[in-house]
Structure 1
Amino acid sequence: AESCEDAPAEMLMRVWQWWNGSLSAPGRPRSHPNFPRHGLLRYADDPNPRLRQLALDDPESTVELVERLSRDPHEEVRYRAATDARLSSASAVWLLDDPHEHVRRAAAGHPALPARTLVQLLRSPDTAAAAAGSPGLPEPVAERMIEVLRRLRAEATG
C-alpha cells in the first residue's frame, strides 16, 4: 500500500494502525499523498495511541491539542507532539525530562527551546547532536560550533 500511488485513504488508515513504514518508504503510509488529513480530530481521544497522534495532522488541530498530547500517557503520542512546531517552549523543555530517549531527543531539537536551554543541551554528549540540529539555534552559537569543528578537523589532518 505504501508504494502504490493510488492506494485508497481507507486502506492507508487501516495500514497505519499496525505498520510504522519501511526503509524503502519512510514515513509511509502517513506521508502518502492519499493519506487523509481532514477529519482526524475525531481521534484525539481514541484509545489507540497510533490514531490519537493523527489528530495533530488535521489542519483544524490547535495549539491546545498539541499541548494536551505532549502530556499523553503513551510515549509515541508525546514524541509526535514533541515534533510539532506549535508546541510551546515550556512544554518542549518539560519533554526534555521524558522517561523515553526518543521523546527527549525530539524535544532537544525543537525550535521553540530557549537559547539558554539549547546551549546547555549542546554541552551534554547525550543531547548535543539533537540540539545542534535545532532550527532555534542562535546564529552566533552555530558559527562558534562551525569554528570549533574546523579547528578540530585541521588538528586531526595536520
Structure 2
Amino acid sequence: MSVRRAAARRPDTPPQVLLRLLRGHGEVFHIRPLLVDHPNFPRQALRGFVDEPDPRVRVLALEDPDLPVSELRRLAACEESFLRAGVARHPNVTAELLERLLADPEPKVADDAAANLVLPRARMDRILAEAGI
C-alpha cells in the first residue's frame, strides 16, 4: 500500500489512477496530503462515491462541499456513525437534516450537528437552555 500511495503522490499521477486507488482502498485521513487534494484528482467524481459499497470509500463523497442535500440525506441514513457525523459537519447540510441528526443515538453525531453553523442560532439557544447552560 505504501508504494501505491507514494506513486500516487507524484505530481503527474493520472486522475484514473487516483480514482482507482481511492475506490479500492479509501483514503487514509491521517496521511497528508489527501489523495482527493491531489491537483489531478477529478473533484467532480466525488459525488460518485455516494454509491460505493464500502463505507470507508463512501465517506469520500463528503469531501464535495456542494454535495446535494438528497445525497446528504442518503448518507445520514447510513448505519455507520462516522458517515452520519460527516453529514452533520457538512457545509451544505440543511437545518432540517441537522434537527434529525441532533437526535442521533451516537453522541458524536449529535455533537457535530449542534456545532454546525447551519443550525439556527435560536435552536442552539434552546439546546443550551435545555441543558441548563
TM-score, structure 2 normalization: 0.68
Structure with bigger helix share is 2
Structure 1 ranges of 4+ moved more than 4 A? none
Q: Which moved more, 1:51-60 or 1:70-79?
A: 51-60
Aligned match of 1:37 in 37, 40, 43?
Answer: 43
Return the offset for 1:60.
7.0
Q: Which runs of 5+ in 2 are unaligned?
A: none
User: Aligned partners of 1:84, 1:92: CA distance in 2, in Å?
Assistant: 10
Q: Give the partner amino acid of 2:92.
A: R
| Pairing of 1:9-88 with structure 2 (within 5 A) | 9=15, 10-11=17-18, 14=21, 17=26, 19-22=28-31, 25=32, 28-58=34-64, 61-88=67-94
Q: Give the partner amino acid of 2:125.
A: V
| Pairing of 1:130-149 with structure 2 (within 5 A) | none
Q: Which residue of 1 aligns with 2:127?
A: 121
Q: Which has the higher contact order (CA 8 A, sep 6+)?
A: 2
User: Aligned partners of 1:83, 1:46: CA distance in 2, in Å?
Assistant: 20
Aligned-pair identity (%): 27
**RMSD (Å), alpha carbons:** 3.3
